[in-house]
Amino acid sequence: MIRLAWPDVGPEEAAAAAEVLEGGQLTMGEKVAELEGELASACGVEYAVAVSSGTAALHLAVLALGIGEGDEVLVPAYTFPATANVVALAGARPVLVDVDPKTMNLDAGRVYDGVTPNTRAVLAVHLFGRPLDWEELQNAVPPDVHLVEDAAGALGARWRGMPCGGLGELGCLSFHPRKIVSTGEGGAVTTQNGELADSIRRLRHHGISTDGEFDIPQPGFNYRLSDVLCAIGLVQLRRLEDLWEARHRLAKAYTARLETIVETPGAAKGDRHGWQAYVVQLDRRDQALAALREAGIEAQIGTYAVHRLSAYADQGPFPGADACYERALALPFHSRLTEGDLDRVAEVLDKVVSE
Ligand SMILES: *Cc1c(COP(=O)(O)O)cnc(C)c1O
């Protein structure tokens, strides 16, 4: 069986976790601030706030901007549904915007069309780690619309040399096992804005004030990340360049085998793909998925067309998102794959395509 994902964690991560366990301070200890400091520098920003998941990061980003009832937030129609869910859970309306089926990222022209007087923000995704063209996005919306990055899969990616996760007013990261840096579950919000950082710190910890007398000015959550997981995250983050190199090499090896068979992924010229996943596109996707599974190879659809979920079914049509939803295929992608494994994947796809 060739697995779809396999987090690259080993003895160093285990030792870091063991040290915290032995120290007895399992949460709200010093590992949190240490991880936050290194995340902020990795993204080229002043502040990072560690939270319990990428979804928690997105939720707090929306709430910290004061978005709620009566507000609209533009969200790609093709993304992991958490991007839309957090907007709805904040009481605002997620307005779906179609994607460019080639890049699978937001189509800037459609973003422009989606803006109304009620638009407060865009949740812009770098899908599968491919940097979204940030300048096109900035030009598509009025300057008072907040730009929030869903960089859940884009730690290590760069747009024109600048780290993804540091491009927006707020950036949201995930450390889920299918992301490049993994703590099992985990996430963070990044920002240059000290007030927003403070607000996110309060909201992740029940709403409790971060200075002065004990007070709760606004109710919050427990969205904290434990010291055990922060310690693992620190080791992972210090390995980020190596983890990225390994994924970059693997992506090149896949592309060399597949570029004449299917549409292979890549970044725009001058950008660096983050390689959260290796997602190809092809017409006979469902047949390919079945054939891979039949051959003992775990594969998966890319992600979801949000307007095809019942919670969001009142919007559309979105032909770009439909095309991605029907054609995208995520291939096994992790550091334990061998050249032989890649050959097996390519062989199965070649057979399906030429049938
Ligand atoms: C993984 C992912 C999320 C959710 O992150 P979790 O840590 O699993 O909550 C949100 N958006 C995108 C684009 C993702 O890839």
- Structural domains of the chain in order of their starting residue, each with its CATH number: 11-238 (3.40.640.10), 240-354 (3.90.1150.10)
Q: Looking at residues 139-152, what average pLDDT do you find?
A: 98
Kindly give the number of the ligand 1 atom that is closest to the alpha carbon of 174.
7
In the prediction, which pLDDT does 211 show?
87
Pocket test for ligand 1, best of 62, 164, 174, 183 (most atoms within 8 A of CB): 174
Calpha distance 340→290 (Å, rounded): 20
pLDDT at 210 over 90: no
Calpha distance 245→11 (Å, rounded): 20
Q: Looking at residues 313-322, what average pLDDT do you find?
A: 96
pLDDT digits (tens, 9 = 90+) for 74-88: 999 999 999 999 999
Q: Whose CA is nearest to atom 7 of ligand 1?
A: 54
Q: Contact at 8 Å (CB) between 21 and 184?
A: no
Q: Looking at residues 186-193, what average pLDDT do you find?
A: 98
Pocket test for ligand 1, best of 4, 78, 176, 278 (most atoms within 8 A of CB): 176
In the prediction, which pLDDT does 65 show?
98
pLDDT at 313 over 90: yes
In the prediction, which pLDDT does 212 show?
87
Calpha distance 219→255 (Å, rounded): 49
Instruction: Return the DSSP state at 205.
Output: B
Cis peptide before 317 (omega within 30 of 0): yes
Ligand 1 cavity residues, CB under 6 Å? 53-55, 79-80, 82-83, 125, 150, 152-153, 174, 176, 187
pLDDT at 129 over 90: yes
Calpha distance 126→133 (Å, rounded): 9
Kindly give the number of the ligand 1 atom that is closest to the alpha carbon of 82.
10
Q: Whose CA is nearest to atom 5 of ligand 1?
A: 54
214 alpha carbon to ligand 1 midpoint, in Å?
A: 33
| CB within 8 Å of 272: residues ≥ 6 apart | 131, 156, 157, 158
Average pLDDT of the chain is: 98
